[in-house]
Amino acid sequence: MVKILNNPMNEDSSVRSVLRGGQRIRARNEARLINAAIQVFADRGLEGATTARIAETAGLPKANLYYYFASKETIYRRAVLGILEKWLDAFNALSPDDDPALAIADYVRAKMTASFNHPAESRLFARELLSGAPIVKHYLETELRDWVARKSVIIKAWSDKGLMAPVSPPHLFFIIWAATQTFADFSVQIDCVLGPEDRSSRQEIATDEIVSFVLRACGLGG
């Protein structure tokens, strides 16, 4: 478990603090506000979002937001770091003993599911990166860099054994991240190009297409 934020929700809180009243109201309202913030920041960006709108989305008056968060930057920070932490934990697949095809397919599939089910998180993160990553830069240089280094060893081992094509592991991740997150970040574009037909089956088709594309590129049939 990667520890980035040290909010109480990271600890034993889930049981205790829900029972005792200690921080019950605080936990509930902060969660509401963070979720609202993710939505609004994802849609409008740090400067485009107003604290009034975040509060309204959370169903609370603006002054209440400032009771829990010192500033707009503070709640932005919490939202972005929360997403990063969640992502680093969620995608921890790829162990050396796995079958490369299965492991990579699983990873890509999980990323696609995340893009379709939680697009706002991806969009907010995209905005943070577009702005030069003022908040997460430090974690990209450490946590994420290490994560990629660890996974790269595994990929390298696979291609050295001839189990897959020799790809540059970091670039493999860059492509997978880009190709999967594009379905969250730039979904307007995709919807416009594909037009109004068959909107329902689209997630499955896209997922299969991206998975087999990546597998083929890795020399893993498909």
Partner DNA sequence: GAATAACCTGACCATATGGTCAAGATTTTA
Partner DNA sequence: TAAAATCTTGACCATATGGTCAGGTTATTC
Among 44, 53, 118, 156, binds a second copy (CB under 8 A): 44
**Minimum CB distance to DNA, residue 45 (Å):** 11
By the rule CB under 8 A, 205 interacts with a second copy: yes
Beta-strand runs (E) in 44-179? none
**Minimum CB distance to DNA, residue 79 (Å):** 14
- C-alpha span between 190 and 153 (Å, rounded): 34
**Minimum CB distance to a second copy, residue 164 (Å):** 11
From 20, 17, 1, select the one nearest 9 (Cα to Cα). 17
DSSP 47-115: HH--HHHHHHHHTS-HHHHHHH-SSHHHHHHHHHHHHHHHHHHH-----TTS-HHHHHHHHHHHHHHHH
**Minimum CB distance to DNA, residue 110 (Å):** 35
From 176, 185, 1, 182, select the one nearest 88 (Cα to Cα). 1
Among 60, 126, 154, 163, binds a second copy (CB under 8 A): 126
From 27, 72, 77, select the one nearest 52 (Cα to Cα). 72
By the rule CB under 8 A, 43 interacts with a second copy: yes
Question: How many Å is the maximal CA-CA distance in the chain?
Answer: 61
By the rule CB under 8 A, 63 interacts with a second copy: no
Residue 145 binding partner per list a second copy, DNA, none, with a CB distance cut-off of 5 to 8 Å that depends on partner kind? a second copy
Q: What are phi and psi of 201, to 5 degrees?
A: -80, 0
Residue 45 binding partner per list a second copy, DNA, none, with a CB distance cut-off of 5 to 8 Å that depends on partner kind? a second copy
What six digits make up the tokens of 24?
Answer: 């019950």
By the rule CB under 8 A, 163 interacts with a second copy: no
Residue 15 binding partner per list a second copy, DNA, none, with a CB distance cut-off of 5 to 8 Å that depends on partner kind? none
What six digits make up the tokens of 1?
Answer: 């478990």
What six digits make up the tokens of 30?
Answer: 């902060």
**Minimum CB distance to DNA, residue 136 (Å):** 20
Binding site for a second copy (CB under 8 A): 42-48, 123, 126-127, 129-133, 137, 140-141, 144-145, 148, 165, 167-168, 170-175, 177-179, 181-183, 185-186, 188-190, 192-195, 205-206, 209-210, 213-214, 216-219
